[in-house]
Copies of this chain bind each other. A is one copy, B any other.
Amino acid sequence: MARAIYDAATEVSGSPDAVPPSRADVAAATGLTRATVSTLVDHLVAARLVTELEPVSSQRAGRPAVPLVPARRTVVGLGLEVNVDYLGVRALDLAGDVVADHVEAGTFHDSDPAAVLARLGLLAADVVTRLEADGLRVAGARLALPGLVDARTGELEVAPNLGWSSVHPVELLGLGDLPVRVANEAKLAALAELAGDVPPSFLYVSGDVGIGAAIVVDRALFLAERGWNGEVGHVVVDPAGPRCSCGASGCLEQYAGKEAILRAAGLATEAPLDDLVAALAVPDGGTPGGRARSAVDRAGQALGSALADFVNLTGVSTVVLGGVYTELEPWLRAEITAGLGARVLAAPFAPVDVRAARAGQHAALTGGAREVLREVVADPAAWV
C-alpha cells in the first residue's frame, strides 16, 4: 500500500524541525519490510511524488540514510473559493508550498452564480495554464462555498449570503475535465489547520456573517450522509432570546454572529473587524472598550453554551476558533472555557482544549488544495 508509505513520509515532515524519514524509517513506521518499502518508494520517486535528498551522515555507525521528502513543484492541488467579499484560487504542492495565489476582492451578496463562477473559472484556468507550462501537473480542485453543499452530488442547495440556491457549481466553472469537487467553506478551512500541530480530531468553528463549523476526526472531515453537519449557528442558546433569521429564537448567531457582535459593540454591521479589535484594546473603563468588551463577553458566553452542546454531542474535545473568532480569541477564551468547563460532562476526564486557528487568510483555499493532494497521496497509483 503506497498510501502508508507516503503518509509516513509526509506526516513526519509536518513538524518542521524533524529530520525527513528514510526508507528504513518508513518500513519501521508501517510494519512493511524494507524490501517492500524500497520498491514502492522507487515508484513514488519515479512518479515525482517523493524526492530523495542527499544522504547525510547521522553521526552513528552504518550507511547514511537517504532522506525522503514530498516533491516540490511537481503535482499541485487547487483551492477555489467564492465568498461574500472575495473570490480566489490557490495552488499548493505536496510540500505545502503555495505555488500560485490569486484572490480578488468583490461584493458577491445577491450575485449571479453563473457570472461569478465563470469569472472564478477563468482565474483558475489561467493558473492551470501557467502551472502546466512550468511542467507541474494539476491533480484537481476543490471549490469552497459559504452554504449548504451536498457532499455526494456537489450541488449547492442554498447560500444565503450569496443569494444563491440550487446551483451546480462545477459546470458553471467550465474547467473542462479537471476534476472539481465542492464543499462548504468552513469545512475546507478546517482542513487547513492540519498543516499545523493540531490534534487529529477537532471541532472547527468559524465566525463570520453566519457561523460555520466542521468536525474533523482522525485528520479527515466527518461527512455523514450529505455532510450537512456543524450548523452550530442555530443551536439554542436561549429560547427567550432575539428572533433569528432562521425562524427560531435565541440561536447562537444572534449572540455570536459577526453582525450581532458588532451591533452590540455599538459599531456598524459593515465595520471592519479591526475597529472592534481597536475598541477592545482600549484599557478598560473607557466607554468604547466597555461596550465592545461586554459584546464579546456575551458572545463568549453564548459560544460557551453552544460549543458545550457541540462537544457533548460529538465527543470531540478540541475546539479551534476560526474566522473572526481567531482574532477575538484573546477576549473570547475565558468565557468560552468557563462555559465548556461547566457544561461539558466529560470535561473532568478530558478537559476541552480551545485554541485559535493558525492557517492564516483564506484558509478554505489552503484546505481545499490540501484535500486534493490528500487524494493523490491516498491513491498514488493513478500518478505512478
Q: Within the assembled complex, what's the spacing in Å between the Cα atoms of A328 and B224?
A: 28
Specify which chain B residues have a CB less than 8 angstroms from the CB of A5 in the assembled complex.
Answer: none
Specify which chain B residues have a CB less than 8 angstroms from the CB of A228 in the assembled complex.
Answer: 315, 317, 345-346, 349-350
Specify which chain B residues have a CB less than 8 angstroms from the CB of A232 in the assembled complex.
Answer: 312-313
A interface, CB within 8 angstroms of B: 148, 150, 157, 201, 213, 215, 217-218, 222-232, 234-240, 246-248, 305-306, 308-310, 312-317, 342-343, 345-346, 349-350
**Pair B224/A316 contact, Cβ less than 8 Å:** yes
Distance from A381 Cβ to chain B, minimum over Cβ atoms (Å)? 17
Specify which chain B residues have a CB less than 8 angstroms from the CB of A309 in the assembled complex.
Answer: 235-236, 309, 313
**Pair B312/A225 contact, Cβ less than 8 Å:** no
- Given known contacts A238-B239, A314-B314, A345 and B148 CB-to-CB distance under 8 angstroms: yes
What's the number of copies of this chain in the assembled complex?
A: 2
Distance from A285 Cβ to chain B, minimum over Cβ atoms (Å)? 29
9 contacts between A and B (CB under 8 A): A148-B345, A148-B349, A218-B224, A225-B315, A227-B315, A228-B345, A229-B312, A247-B342, A309-B309
Q: Within the assembled complex, what's the spacing in Å between the Cα atoms of A228 and B349?
A: 10
- Given known contacts A239-B305, A305-B236, A315 and B148 CB-to-CB distance under 8 angstroms: no
Specify which chain B residues have a CB less than 8 angstroms from the CB of A314 in the assembled complex.
Answer: 215, 224, 229, 313-314
Q: Within the assembled complex, what's the spacing in Å between the Cα atoms of A222 and B218?
A: 12
Distance from A244 Cβ to chain B, minimum over Cβ atoms (Å)? 10
Q: Within the assembled complex, what's the spacing in Å between the Cα atoms of A201 and B222?
A: 13
Q: Within the assembled complex, what's the spacing in Å between the Cα atoms of A342 and B247?
A: 7
**Pair B224/A346 contact, Cβ less than 8 Å:** no
* Chain B minimum-CB-distance residue to A223: B315
Q: Within the assembled complex, what's the spacing in Å between the Cα atoms of A248 and B308?
A: 11
Q: Within the assembled complex, what's the spacing in Å between the Cα atoms of A257 and B152?
A: 37
Q: Within the assembled complex, what's the spacing in Å between the Cα atoms of A306 and B308?
A: 13
Q: Within the assembled complex, what's the spacing in Å between the Cα atoms of A206 and B115?
A: 49
* Chain B minimum-CB-distance residue to A306: B236
Specify which chain B residues have a CB less than 8 angstroms from the CB of A234 in the assembled complex.
Answer: 312, 343, 345
Specify which chain B residues have a CB less than 8 angstroms from the CB of A349 in the assembled complex.
Answer: 148, 150, 157, 228
Specify which chain B residues have a CB less than 8 angstroms from the CB of A345 in the assembled complex.
Answer: 148, 228, 231, 234, 246
Q: Within the assembled complex, what's the spacing in Å between the Cα atoms of A225 and B218?
A: 9
Specify which chain B residues have a CB less than 8 angstroms from the CB of A217 in the assembled complex.
Answer: 224
- Given known contacts A237-B239, A248-B342, A224 and B315 CB-to-CB distance under 8 angstroms: yes
Specify which chain B residues have a CB less than 8 angstroms from the CB of A310 in the assembled complex.
Answer: 313
* Chain B minimum-CB-distance residue to A218: B224
Specify which chain B residues have a CB less than 8 angstroms from the CB of A247 in the assembled complex.
Answer: 342
Centre residue among A213, A236, A342, A350 by max chain B CB count within 10 A: A236
**Pair B236/A237 contact, Cβ less than 8 Å:** yes
**Pair A315/B235 contact, Cβ less than 8 Å:** no
Q: Within the assembled complex, what's the spacing in Å between the Cα atoms of A232 and B314?
A: 10
Distance from A177 Cβ to chain B, minimum over Cβ atoms (Å)? 25
Distance from A269 Cβ to chain B, minimum over Cβ atoms (Å)? 22
Q: Within the assembled complex, what's the spacing in Å between the Cα atoms of A224 and B148?
A: 24
